[in-house]
A and B are shown apart, each in its own frame.
Chain A
Amino acid sequence: SQQGEEDPQALSIQEGENATMNCSYKTSINNLQWYRQNSGRGLVHLILIRSNEREKHSGRLRVTLDTSKKSSSLLITASRAADTASYFCATDFTGTASKLTFGTGTRLQVTL
Chain B
Amino acid sequence: KAGVTQTPRYLIKTRGQQVTLSCSPISGHRSVSWYQQTPGQGLQFLFEYFSETQRNKGNFPGRFSGRQFSNSRSEMNVSTLELGDSALYLCASSTTQANTEAFFGQGTRLTVV
Contact = CB atoms under 8 A, between A and B. Distances in A.
Nearest to A33: B101
B70 interface: no
Interface residues on B, range: 20 to 34
B43 A97 contact: no
27 contacts: A1-B44, A1-B59, A2-B41, A31-B99, A35-B104, A40-B37, A40-B88, A40-B109, A41-B107, A42-B4, A42-B107, A43-B92, A43-B102, A95-B99, A97-B92, A97-B94, A98-B48, A98-B50, A98-B56, A98-B102, A99-B45, A99-B48, A101-B45, A102-B42, A102-B43, A103-B42, A105-B43
Interface of B: 4, 31, 33, 35, 37, 41-45, 48, 50, 55-56, 59, 88, 90, 92, 94-107, 109
